[in-house]
Amino acid sequence: MLNIGTKAPDFVLENQNGEKISLDSFKGKKVVLYFYPRDNTPGCTKQACAFSSLKGEFDKRNTVVIGVSKDSVTSHKKFDEKHSLGFILLSDTSTEVLQQYDVWKEKKLYGKVSMGVVRSTYIIDENGVIISALEKVKPDLNAQQMLDIIDSLKEE
């Protein structure tokens, strides 16, 4: 994971509509940047739908939600349409951004070792600085957890 207090690496990736999106274009807003393994798998669907259902709450807090995986733009489009997600999904087929954010790691499943995305979430402040970094988050609890962190930061 990248350290809290460091500048979040900028990037340009395509969203589910094929539009190029850069992290820097969200200066002045908080960004919840979450990395997930795969579209339309049970855990990833739970996580995305939880973020989608709380989108209005994130909007009230001047916060943009962005999901990133290795899936293609086409896969993201289908995932977004199937579940009416309504937030940005970015495609990183090269894994360049996944590696920059230190979420592309060796994983073991049933004794088999492979590379994959470790489900992780960052909160980036209005100036592009990482203010929260969580690894191995629980898909169904992650969205509410991010709201709680954002609210706790306001109180400090």
Instruction: Look at residue 48 and tell me if it is in a domain.
Output: yes
Instruction: Look at residue 50 and tell me if it is in a domain.
Output: yes
Active site residues: 44
Q: Is the pLDDT of residue 156 over 60?
A: no
Distance CA 91, CA 54 (A): 22
The domain total for the chain is 1
Instruction: Look at residue 37 and tell me if it is in a domain.
Output: yes
Q: Given this model, what pLDDT does residue 109 score?
A: 79
What is the CA angle 93-4-129, rounded to 5? 70
Per-residue model confidence as pLDDT tens digits over 125-137 = 999 999 999 999 9
Kindly indicate the confidence band of residue 84, based on its pLDDT and cuts at 50, 70 and 90: very high
**Residue environment code for 97-127, b if the CB has 16+ CB neighbours within 10 A, otherwise e:** bbeebbbbeeeeeeeeeeebbbbbbbbbbee
Per-residue model confidence as pLDDT tens digits over 100-118 = 999 999 988 788 899 999 9
Note down the domain range covering 94.
Answer: 26-155
Instruction: Look at residue 98 and tell me if it is in a domain.
Output: yes
User: How far is Cα of residue 89 from the mean position of the Cα atoms in its chain?
Assistant: 8
Q: Is the pLDDT of residue 23 over 60?
A: yes
What φ, ψ does residue 103 adopt, rounded to 5°? Answer: -115, -5
Instruction: Look at residue 84 and tell me if it is in a domain.
Output: yes
| CATH code for the domain in which residue 45 is found | 3.40.30.10
Kindly indicate the confidence band of residue 155, based on its pLDDT and cuts at 50, 70 and 90: low
